[in-house]
Structure formats: structure tokens, C-alpha cells
């Protein structure tokens, strides 16, 4: 069997010193060095200076890195082996497989892509598996976790070195892996080489047009999961299943196109609701609110099962059906699945309810796209027991797709009673410019009362100060996130904590809004 050293030499690497026998991991992030890894010095979006290289190497050695991998142009005077490899930032895929092989062949992996719903769908799958007694690993937006380990995520789909490292660590630790596969992850080959057992496409809406050229480019990035990865999984000996949203015509068309174009051979199933074609494999029908949640039937190929969803957000029922289909494809029986579904907890930061006596109901949601914002608002509107006014606190991210801002403004102006526009993650943009973009979409005939407060904390306080007990406040855009990005800094900011602290101390006077 080839050793890591042999594999590196086969890539053209020159090794100064003896390659450490105990070195079996690689990282390009000094924050993920725990001792014994090879540290990769690589350039990203911008070139590295000599000073920065030396600082990174010094930090890596201080954290007990056992070897350094870098471009031959860097001269290092260190006491650990140095592995010179030309342009290593372009060789990440080869380096990942040199160190880890292909860990996906030793896992059952469910991949979820889509503009909205990835985190919720993964959470439901994880919850169902745990309720049924299985060990689960999760790679996604909120965190990367498996039994005995959890770390907050930087990217929804981590870089390929970190991803392969996580999957390797999960071998013999989990029974199933569920992961969010973003358009960035597909476009940048972060999931290169992985073989999936199930791939779910939840929906397609507008997002990430700051990165993708246009909507067509964005959609094609997601389509790669079905044109490239599932066929490769089939060739590798797996029997993959493609699962798609029958209510989304673009997704339906693209999945069917992909499976016709490729040497495929796996299963293909669809999910939807009463409005989806009757040929849909799993549909939610006769769904209504019964004071404690949504109840109805899950119709699997004309065979109905009781369906109970105990959370706000009827729009999340299709995500629950997608999760159930993924496990059906892996051999699970339907009755235990739908019994377990009733006990799935709410997803953190996704229509997460904060409810205290004498205060309005508050929902925290990650909605940061037009489609997600509209769904979150309508999800609250469709609960019959809510009779008061609806308040919305929201903004939009800076240095990102600006074209969605007016759309979000128009949605707010049409669907809520009070719209408090504030900062999200302004990054290096002027917050007032972002707010002005949102305002530009407000409908001229809107009855929504609009206020502006740049401070997110003050905006939340403003809404909570004025909302009545029977009202509802939706705080959208950040969900589970515990920070704001202002300039190049991450500032601590937790919407949930802000709400709870306000409810504990109601003596603070409301700030003055700009009407």
C-alpha cells in the first residue's frame, strides 16, 4: 500500500528531512492544528507576503505541526520536515486524497442542496436517525458535529481538506452522515471525489449572485450534484438516489435532465404537497392547524400515513417529506419514520419561537433571501391563532448580491404591518446604502409602517417595546448566527440573546426611530 510520503512524491513533492511516520492529517488553517498534522501554507484570494508566511509557519510549529508543505519559492529555516510542492493551492484535491484516500466510500452520506431549507432538512434527517437509535455526523451551516465533537461552521460546506478530515474522523464513529452541499461547495470543488448515497434538491431561488455570474450559473452549480456526483457514486458501487421538489418546476426539469444525460442507474423520487403532480412519490395532503401544530396525511404512492408537524412553518413540511424520502431510499420503514417525525425538535434559528407571558411571540429566522423571507412571513400569517399585528425586523448583507434587497423590501411592504429596517452583516458597505436599497422596493401603496434603526439591537428593542402581547415579531436574517460582520470585524450579536435580555429587563426606554 502506498504511504502518504509515496503519494506526495508522486505529486512531484520534494521532502527535506524524514517524513514523520505519525503524520496522517493535513490542514491549511492554524486554528485546526491539534498536534502532529502537516500544515499547508497556501495562497487564497490574495498573495501571501514573506512576513505572513513566516508568521503562519511559526504559529503552526508552536501548535506542534509535524511538517510544513509549501511552494518551493518559500525558504524556511525550521526544525521539522519541509515538503515543497509547486503551486499547492491548486493541488488541494490531490493533497486531500493523498492524506485521507476517499473516506466517503466508508460512509452512508446524504447530501442536501437548495437555496433554502438545507439546514432544516439536514436537522430533520439527523433528528429522525437519532430518534431511531442511530449515530449521526452533520456537516452544515450551524456546525460540524458528530458524537463527542462539535465546532461552529465558517462555511456551509467546508474546504476540501477540512471536509475530508471530518469524514475520516467520523469513520467507525457514526452510522450516517448528512451534509449541506452549497453552490460554492460544488463550484469550488470542495466536495470533489465524494460519493453520495442520497442527494436532495430542496428548491431554487435567488442567492449568491455576488459569486455566480447569474441565475443560470448558480443553477448549473447545483445541478453538478446530479450530473457528476451521483453518476460517479453509481460507478463506485453505490446505489444512489436523487430526491427533488416536485413543486419547483426548475428543479424538476434540471434533475430529470441530469439523470437522462448521465450514466445513472439509481433511484429517483419526488416530494411535494396537494398542488404537486399526482405522480409525486410523497405528498402532504389535507394539512390543517390543530392548535399544537400541523396535521394531515403523508401520501406515499397512494398509501396514506398520519402526518404531524409540531412547529410553525407549514412550508417546512416538504423538507420533512424530503428527509423521510432520504431514509426510505436507505431502507427505512415508513411507519416508524412518521411516528418519529412528530417528535422532531425545531431547527435552531429557523422560525425558532421565543414565548414568554406578557410579551409578543417572537420568531428568530435565518431568512436572508426574498423567497425565504416571504415564506417566513406567510408561515406566521397562516397560523389561525395569531390575531394581532406582525412586526418584521430585517436587513440585508453587504458586499453581497444587491439585487435582492429591493425584492425583500417589496415583500415586507406587502406582507407585514410594521417593518423595522436595520443592519444585517454590512461588511464594508455603508449600512444606510443597504437600507436605501431595501427601501427602494417598498410599494407606493403599502400600508406597512416603516422605521429605520441602524443598530440591530436597538431595532429589536424598538419592535419589542411597541408590539402588543397579541402581536408577533419576526426577526429575520441571522438566525443561529452569534455575530455581525462590520467592516472586517466580527462583532458579537445574538438575536435570541438580545430578545431574552430585553424580556428580562423591560425598564429600558425604546430608542427613537427614524420614520
List, for residues 253-303, the tens digit of each pLDDT value: 999 999 888 777 788 999 999 899 989 999 999 999 988 889 999 999 999
Within the chain, which residue ranges are assigned CATH 3.40.1390.10?
4-100
Average pLDDT over residues 91-112: 97
| pLDDT at site 219 | 87
Do the strands 67-70 and 26-27 form a parallel or antiparallel pair, or are they unpaired? unpaired
Give the CATH fold of the 4-100 domain.
3.40.1390
| Residue located via cell numbers 433528528 | 127
pLDDT in tens, 118-150: 999 999 999 999 999 999 999 999 999 999 999
The closest of 391, 366, 121, 343 to 245, measured between CA atoms, is: 121
Helical segments of 425-481, H only: 431-439, 456-466
Question: CA torsion sign, 434 to 435 to 436 to 441?
Answer: positive
Q: CA-to-CA distance for 163 and 513, rounded, in angstroms?
A: 45
Q: How far is CA 215 from CA 119, 185, 204, 385, in A?
A: 21, 16, 9, 38
CA 175 vs. chain centroid, Å, equals: 21
Q: Is 481 helix (H, G, I), strand (E, B) or coil?
A: coil
Confidence of residue 384 (pLDDT cuts 50, 70, 90): confident
Confidence of residue 514 (pLDDT cuts 50, 70, 90): very low
Residue 3 has pLDDT above 50, yes or no: yes
Cell of 420: 423595522
Q: Are 309 and 324 in contact (CB under 8 A)?
A: no
Q: Which CATH architecture has domain 103-341?
A: 3-Layer(aba) Sandwich (3.40)
Confidence of residue 208 (pLDDT cuts 50, 70, 90): low
Question: Among 64-78, 261-275, 337-351, which stretch is predicted with the lowest mean pLDDT?
Answer: 261-275
Run of H or E including 350: none
Residue 212 has pLDDT above 80, yes or no: no
Q: Nearest 5 degrees, angle CA 42-CA 207-CA 241?
A: 85
Residue 324 has pLDDT above 50, yes or no: yes
Within the chain, which residue ranges are assigned CATH 3.90.190.20?
352-504
Confidence of residue 181 (pLDDT cuts 50, 70, 90): very high
Q: Which CATH architecture has domain 352-504?
A: Alpha-Beta Complex (3.90)
| pLDDT at site 54 | 94
Residue 513 has pLDDT above 50, yes or no: no
Cell of 82: 519541509
| pLDDT at site 515 | 41
Confidence of residue 156 (pLDDT cuts 50, 70, 90): confident
Cell of 310: 409540531
**171 φψ region: left (φ > 0), alpha (ψ -120 to 50), beta (else):** beta
Q: Nearest 5 degrees, angle CA 434-CA 438-CA 442?
A: 160
| pLDDT at site 128 | 98
Q: CA-to-CA distance for 309 and 287, rounded, in angstroms?
A: 10
Provide the percentage of residues in the chain whose pLDDT is more than 70: 96
Q: What average pLDDT does the structure give for the chain? A: 93
Residue 508 has pLDDT above 90, yes or no: no
The closest of 19, 27, 144, 183 to 92, measured between CA atoms, is: 27
| pLDDT at site 216 | 84
Confidence of residue 207 (pLDDT cuts 50, 70, 90): low
Within the chain, which residue ranges are assigned CATH 3.40.1190.10?
103-341
Amino acid at each position: 500500500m502506498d504511504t502518504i510520503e509515496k503519494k506526495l512524491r508522486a505529486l512531484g513533492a520534494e521532502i527535506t528531512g524524514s517524513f514523520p511516520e505519525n503524520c496522517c492529517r493535513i490542514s491549511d488553517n492554524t486554528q485546526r492544528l491539534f498536534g502532529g498534522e502537516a500544515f499547508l501554507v497556501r495562497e487564497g484570494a490574495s498573495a501571501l507576503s514573506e512576513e505572513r508566511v513566516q508568521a503562519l509557519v511559526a504559529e503552526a510549529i508552536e501548535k506542534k505541526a509535524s511538517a510544513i508543505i509549501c511552494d518551493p519559492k518559500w525558504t524556511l529555516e525550521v526544525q521539522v520536515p519541509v515538503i515543497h510542492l509547486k503551486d499547492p493551492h491548486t493541488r488541494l484535491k490531490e493533497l486531500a486524497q493523498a492524506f485521507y484516500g476517499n473516506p466517503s466510500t466508508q460512509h452512508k452520506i446524504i447530501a442536501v442542496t437548495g437555496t433554502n431549507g438545507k439546514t432544516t432538512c439536514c436537522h430533520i434527517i439527523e433528528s429522525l436517525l437519532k430518534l431511531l437509535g442511530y449515530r449521526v455526523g452533520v456537516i452544515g451551516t450551524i456546525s460540524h458535529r458528530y458524537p463527542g465533537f462539535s465546532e461552529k461552521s465558517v462555511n456551509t460546506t467546508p474546504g476540501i481538506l477540512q471536509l475530508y478530515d471530518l469524514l475520516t474522523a467520523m469513520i467507525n464513529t457514526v452510522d450516517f452522515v448528512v451534509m449541506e452541499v452549497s453552490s460554492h461547495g460544488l463550484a469550488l470543488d470542495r466536495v470533489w471525489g465524494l460519493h453520495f448515497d442520497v442527494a436532495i434538491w430542496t428548491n431554487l431561488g435567488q442567492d449568491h449572485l455576488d459569486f455566480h455570474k447569474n441565475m443560470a450559473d448558480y443553477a448549473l452549480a447545483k445541478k453538478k450534484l446530479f450530473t457528476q456526483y451521483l453518476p460517479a457514486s453509481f460507478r463506485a458501487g453505490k446505489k444512489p438516489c436523487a430526491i427533488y421538489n416536485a413543486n419547483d418546476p426548475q428543479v424538476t426539469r434540471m434533475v430529470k435532465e441530469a439523470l437522462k444525460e448521465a450514466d445513472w442507474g439509481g433511484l429517483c423520487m419526488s416530494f411535494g404537497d396537494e398542488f404537486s403532480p399526482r405522480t409525486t412519490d410523497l405528498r402532504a395532503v389535507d394539512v390543517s392547524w390543530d392548535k399544537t401544530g400541523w396535521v394531515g396525511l403523508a401520501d406515499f404512492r397512494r398509501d396514506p400515513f398520519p402526518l404531524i408537524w409540531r412547529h410553525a412553518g407549514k412550508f417546512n413540511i416538504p423538507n420533512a417529506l424530503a428527509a423521510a424520502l432520504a431514509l426510505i431510499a436507505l431502507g427505512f420503514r415508513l411507519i416508524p419514520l412518521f411516528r418519529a417525525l412528530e417528535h422532531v425538535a425545531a431547527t435552531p434559528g429557523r422560525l425558532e419561537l421565543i414565548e414568554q407571558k406578557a410579551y409578543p411571540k417572537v420568531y428568530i429566522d435565518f431568512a436572508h433571501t426574498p423567497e425565504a423571507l416571504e415564506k417566513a412571513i406567510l408561515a406566521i400569517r397562516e397560523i389561525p391563532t395569531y390575531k394581532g399585528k406582525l412586526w418584521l425586523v430585517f436587513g440585508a448583507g453587504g458586499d453581497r448580491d444587491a439585487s435582492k434587497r429591493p425584492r425583500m423590501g417589496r415583500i415586507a411592504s406587502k406582507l407585514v404591518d410594521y417593518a423595522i429596517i436595520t443592519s444585517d452583516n454590512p461588511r464594508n458597505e455603508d449600512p444606510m446604502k443597504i437600507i436605501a436599497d431595501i427601501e427602494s422596493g417598498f410599494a407606493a401603496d403599502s400600508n406597512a409602517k416603516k422605521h429605520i434603526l441602524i443598530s440591530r439591537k436597538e431595532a429589536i428593542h424598538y419592535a419589542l417595546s411597541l408590539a402588543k402581547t397579541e402581536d408577533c415579531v419576526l426577526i429575520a436574517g441571522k438566525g443561529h448566527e452569534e455575530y455581525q460582520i462590520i467592516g472586517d470585524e466580527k462583532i458579537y450579536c445574538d438575536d435570541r440573546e438580545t430578545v431574552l435580555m430585553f424580556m428580562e429587563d423591560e425598564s429600558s426606554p425604546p430608542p427613537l426611530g427614524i420614520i
